[in-house]
Amino acid sequence: MRLSKYYLPTLKEAPKDADTVSAKLMLRAGLIRKTASGIYEWLPLGLKVLKKVEQIVREEMNAAGSSEVWLPLIQPKELWEESGRWAYYGKELLRIKDRKGAEFCFAPTAEEVITNLVRRDVTSYKQLPVSLYQFASKFRDEIRPRFGVMRAREFYMKDGYSFHADEESINKHYQEIYDAYVRIFTRCGFKFKPVEADTGAIGGNFSHEFMVLADTGENAIANCPLCGYAANTEKAEIKPPVYPAAKDLKPMEKVATPGAHSVEDVAKMLGRKPEDLIKLLVFVADGKPVAALMRGDHELNEHKLKALLKASELEKANEEVYVKLTGSSVGFAGPMGLKEKGVKLLADYHVRGVVNGVAGGNEKDVHTINVNPGRDFEPEIYADLKIAAPGDTCGKCGGRFTFTRGIEVGHTFKLGTKYSVSMKAEFLDEKQKSKPFIMGCYGIGISRVVAAAIEQSHDANGIIWPAPLAPFDVYLASIDADINPKVKETAEEVYKKLTDAGFEVLYDDRAERPGIKFKDADLIGIPHRIVVSTRTLEQNECEYKARTSKDTARWNLVEIAGKMKEAAAK
Ligand code: ATP
Ligand code: MG
């Protein structure tokens, strides 16, 4: 490809709202442009990388025995009502009406459509198992689109689904897909880790997230060095601590805490530690008020709270709602008397261990000291509501967690009969008995993979593509071709030779200064750089540099294809 004819608009500076290295570099290197919040255009260079990822995924999915299909972007409400998700999915689902007023949604995923597809065509155990996948755009109206294409609203995904007659069959295929994912992410050149996303409800390896390890990753991963359990901290089960019976309980007392509504301010004013405080967080879950109590130094995990409540929408109460529900101003509500106000009260396990603690006094500028759980308030339930953090112990074995960060690029999930039961997707078994399909689903965020690759591999000058994802193998530049016809002629020859040898070459034939060309070459991150200039031609040579190295080498032009093969094999 000749750069003079290619659409590759690079930028010196990233737009101000680019909030992570990969987003900045993808914008600067001309891979993407932003259309609207969480919605992007993919330019030729970006699309080329996306297609490389797609092809790797396609090859490995095919090898795992799955067949490619293409499903609709617009899905009818009726299917989503059958599964119960039209009501459940909440605001992430973008809903639309056609000219007749019929309701549809933009696909955020495709369980309903695929279950409907398979239930029509597959009626006997003899046709099972069935495994299908597609590449398609997904739309999810994320609350906070961020990190460029990593958490977008419209994104490109591989989603796969499988249908089985029994547990043995799904377990086998789940393992095949799991192994395919390991091959995919290995081929992408990633440092990655499959982590359990097991919530314990079904038990045993029923869901895995594939995490690309990167310090900038959105997900924190809790690892147990003792039993090997590794999970997203959003899901990591924490062992409930055991506390000795509390002694020396003092009588409750109200104290003035003017203007102190944060944990830090209150602790400082009263000469206490944050862990002595019981903080109260107010939410509205599916329209109903809920208060969650956490120890002052702990962070609430909204995913755990949402799962505990089985809520489809969980929103933090705004000031107006907070005041209305608690009868107190923000930062001063406490657990005492809250149930009587009709607010469901839940607490994290660690709250049980607070002795003579500090809680909101239920009036402005007042806190209550010597608050003791059990004596002064009783939550409806104690549960694991905490984001796993250093010091927490593994819910499986009690080992102490260590932490790393990652980007979730893939997800495998045993769905069981959730969709086949609700949508009556059944087959006849050997005994002619009707049974629901046992299902699995398997996603890979193809567009997120591109960003993750950059997040994991870049330097101050730009992207460093792992060879299998690189948009081109070789960046070839001519210097001073406009004033030296021999340079132009030779560069054209090199371009032809390398292309004939099977390399994808981006030929920078622009009449730009060397500085500009080299900056662009580093920014777009193609693994190998070859430069033809008047100086190198004096010895019938070209200059070679690997993107990962500072050093340059000279190659004889006669041997160029062989030399390039050697370099590419390294
Ligand atoms: P998350 O918890 O990050 O929102 P999810 O559980 O919603 O992820 P899945 O429904 O399992 O994600 O989607 C499969 C894959 O699609 C994910 O592993 C991820 O790589 C990708 N993905 C999900 N949401 C987005 C998004 N908003 N933008 C880009 N990729 C996404
Ligand atoms: Mg999501």
pLDDT in tens, 364-396: 999 999 999 999 999 999 999 999 998 899 998
Sheet holding 366-371, edge to edge: 253-256, 366-371, 357-360
Q: What is the bridge-based pairing of β-strands 458-459 and 192-196?
A: unpaired
Distance from C-alpha of 400 to C-alpha of 540, rounded to nearest angstrom: 62
Distances (CA, A) of 477 to 2, 3, 46: 10, 10, 20
Alpha helices in 425-526, H assignment, sequence order: 446-456, 485-500, 514-524
Ligand 1 pocket check for 218: Cβ under 6 Å:
no
Tens of pLDDT, residues 406-422: 999 999 999 999 999 99
Q: Whose CA is nearest to atom 11 of ligand 1?
A: 411
Distance from C-alpha of 499 to C-alpha of 497, rounded to nearest angstrom: 6
Percent of the chain predicted with pLDDT > 90: 88
Least reliable range by pLDDT among 193-197, 245-249, 555-559? 193-197
310 band by pLDDT with thresholds 50, 70 and 90: confident
Ligand 2 centroid–CA 151 distance in Å is: 9
Closest ligand 1 atom to residue 157 Cα is 16
Evaluate whether 4 touches 510 at the Cβ level (below 8 Å).
yes
Sign of CA dihedral 464, 465, 471, 477: positive
Tokens 């370099």, residue located: 567
User: What does the pLDDT read at residue 198?
Assistant: 55
Q: Whose CA is nearest to atom 8 of ligand 1?
A: 408
Tens of pLDDT, residues 82-91: 999 998 888 9
Least reliable range by pLDDT among 38-42, 85-89, 279-283, 457-461? 85-89
Ligand 2 centroid–CA 355 distance in Å is: 38
Looking at per-residue pLDDT, the higher value among 400 and 235 belongs to 400
User: What does the pLDDT read at residue 413?
Assistant: 93
Residue 246 exposed, middle or buried by CB count within 10 Å (0-12, 13-18, 19+): middle
Mutation probe of ligand 1 site: the residue of 89, 448, 449 with most atoms within 8 A of C-beta = 448
- Tokens representing 261? 């509504």
Tens of pLDDT, residues 219-232: 899 999 999 888 88
What is the reported pTM? 0.84
Mutation probe of ligand 1 site: the residue of 34, 42, 94, 157 with most atoms within 8 A of C-beta = 157
Tens of pLDDT, residues 95-107: 999 999 999 999 9
Ligand 1 pocket check for 407: Cβ under 6 Å:
no
pLDDT at 200 exceeding the cut of 80: no
Write down the mean pLDDT value for the chain: 94
Beta-carbon contacts of 301 under 8 Å, excluding residues fewer than 6 positions away, are 233, 234, 385, 386, 387
SS3 of residue 2 by DSSP: strand
Ligand 1 pocket check for 129: Cβ under 6 Å:
no
Ligand 1 pocket check for 285: Cβ under 6 Å:
no
pLDDT at 358 exceeding the cut of 70: yes
Evaluate whether 317 touches 327 at the Cβ level (below 8 Å).
no
312 band by pLDDT with thresholds 50, 70 and 90: confident
Q: Is the peptide bond before 129 cis (omega within 30 degrees of 0)?
A: yes
Q: Give mean pLDDT, residues 495-505.
A: 98
Q: Give mean pLDDT, residues 312-335.
A: 90
Ligand 1 centroid–CA 59 distance in Å is: 21
Distance from C-alpha of 138 to C-alpha of 144, rounded to nearest angstrom: 16
